[in-house]
Chains A and B, each alone.
Chain A
Amino acid sequence: MATGDKKGYVVLECPQEIPCNPCVDACRFGAIYMDGLNGIPTVNDEKCTGCKLCVAACPGQAIFYLEEDETDHTSSATFPYEYLPAPAVGDVVTALDSEGKEVGQCTVAAVSAPKAYNSTPLVTVVMEGDAGLRVRAIRRERKGL
């Protein structure tokens, strides 16, 4: 989907044929397709509205929402984050990629956990340039432990 100068899209990092399809059921717009219960899911960007319900629903936490903002030259990533404490908007934290390698410092732009997410909060972080597109997680806080 595209609004103004922002270009957002869902990425599915689900490379194995495993019996699992909650992403297909989570999408109200029929944008995720799978060939049978064990198929590799694919997303139809034309149908995707960027609602991110699939990001929270995926039991494998393998769905991410990425966005590029061409106006202010930033990029963002939205991912599930099931650790406590949850980060707060405005926090500057260490961004990590899919292998847990550091991408750099990022700013938390949103934290949302409506009931439909079933206790899986989604965190959105923003970085300068296109670095945010590589982000899949943040370093977790271990305060008081």
Chain B
Amino acid sequence: MVTDILVVGAGPAGLAAAVEAAQTGARVLVVDENTKAGGQLYKQIHKFFGSKGHYAGSRGFQIADMLLAQAKELGVEIWLDSRALGLLDSGDIAVLHDRRTVAVRAGKVVLATGAKENGLVFPGWTLPGVVTAGCAQTFSNVHRQLVGRDIVVVGSGNVGLIVAYQLMQAGARVRALAEIQPRITGYLVHAGKVKRAEVPIFLSHTIVRAEGDGRVERVALARVDENYRPVDGTEQWFTADTVLLAAGLTPRAEIASMFNCQMTFEGKLGGLMPLHNRFMQASAPNVYVCGDIAGVEEASTALDEGRLAGLHAAMAAGFAPPQAQARLEELSQSLADLRQGEHGLPRLQCKARIIEKGGQVCGNW
């Protein structure tokens, strides 16, 4: 199998990269290990933030439909249930597809593998009923099955707030939402929806124990001190059958290591991730990264990073779309606009550090 551009991952970043590259005339193959394209978008039933260019106001699954329709129209080939295994000595990429390992020869590779959810360890954390937010969201919004009726949410980031809201839409009751920080860490407007649904929010609190006969039946929250340690005697018990963990995400960057990409650490973007320059080129030859693998952010930033990676990869592969330079600048500006305000600026600083380091080692081949 020969292609100009291979994209690994069919979430918002990967699909945006594929569409942008295919628009230049490049042949694009997208592989994804799931049986459906769209990444996390099909689980997102809420209206998205951002601007028109990021489909703001549309719901996540509607955005996935739009991206897939564009990809189809442009002749992008998508292999589902297909896993990129790694780099062969020949420089080809091994892809497990239709129960065979296929060697894919690609001019450029765009890695858009996304992120994975963090767990949280506490007494009782192995009991059935302790689930991550994304797990509960997949059950509810894809398989139409509520994971529980009475839920305690841990974490007030946007994921925790949004999934709490969606599980209530599906009929569950959220008994409490705990946040270890002394403030809501997600958008206040998302917290507003949860407050108006009469969910008590406990700031400077964390989960200290879950108990039950064979599954979660009750959950204890406790106040934490300034060092985030639970304070004895402040435990409050809640009747609940589910603990929803929304404790952040970590880039799924193993494949970048396998491609010999130089890595860097940014705690605010989720941990270890591949270095990249301002066009999303990684340090390994012909490799690009975009979306959450390059630092956990939002779907809107994933779209713009994907477009940037896809366009630059196509240009580097010899395609010369009209106004390419202007488009690169436009996408860079759009990313800068998204990384503003109290939530965006810390991410802008992380990205500036990555790009500064990456500028010296990425794309110099």
Q: Is there a chain B Cβ closer than 8 Å to A142's Cβ?
A: yes
Is A118 within 8 A of B57, CB to CB? yes
Q: What is the bound-complex CA distance between A120 and B188, given in angstroms?
A: 20
Q: Is there a chain A Cβ closer than 8 Å to B46's Cβ?
A: yes
A38's partner among B47, B197, B341 (CB-CB below 8 A) is B341
Interface size of B by CB at 8 A reads 37
Q: What is the bound-complex CA distance between A120 and B360, given in angstroms?
A: 48
A139's partner among B52, B198, B343 (CB-CB below 8 A) is B198
* Nearest A residue (CB) for B187: A18
Q: Is there a chain B Cβ closer than 8 Å to A109's Cβ?
A: no
Q: What is the bound-complex CA distance between A14 and B340, given in angstroms?
A: 16
Residues from chain A with a CB closer than 8 A to the CB of B56 are 20-22, 25, 59
B49's partner among A20, A84, A120 (CB-CB below 8 A) is A20
Q: Is there a chain B Cβ closer than 8 Å to A140's Cβ?
A: yes
Is B197 within 8 A of A145, CB to CB? no
Residues from chain B with a CB closer than 8 A to the CB of A26 are 57
Instruction: Give per-residue flags for B198-238: 1 if the beta carbon is below 8 A from chain A beta carbons, else 0.
Output: 11000000000000000000000000000000000000000
Smallest CB separation, B276 vs chain A (Å): 21
Number of A-B contacts (CB under 8 A): 108
Is B193 within 8 A of A61, CB to CB? yes
Smallest CB separation, A104 vs chain B (Å): 15
Is A60 within 8 A of B337, CB to CB? no
* Nearest A residue (CB) for B188: A16
Q: Is there a chain A Cβ closer than 8 Å to B173's Cβ?
A: yes
Q: Is there a chain A Cβ closer than 8 Å to B259's Cβ?
A: no
- A-B residue pairs, 9 tightest by C-beta: A60-B189, A17-B341, A22-B57, A59-B47, A137-B196, A20-B49, A100-B198, A38-B340, A38-B341
16 extra interface residue pairs, beta carbon distance < 8 Å, beyond A15-B188, A17-B342, A96-B196: A18-B341, A19-B344, A22-B47, A38-B341, A59-B47, A59-B49, A59-B57, A59-B189, A60-B49, A61-B189, A61-B192, A98-B192, A99-B195, A99-B196, A100-B196, A118-B62
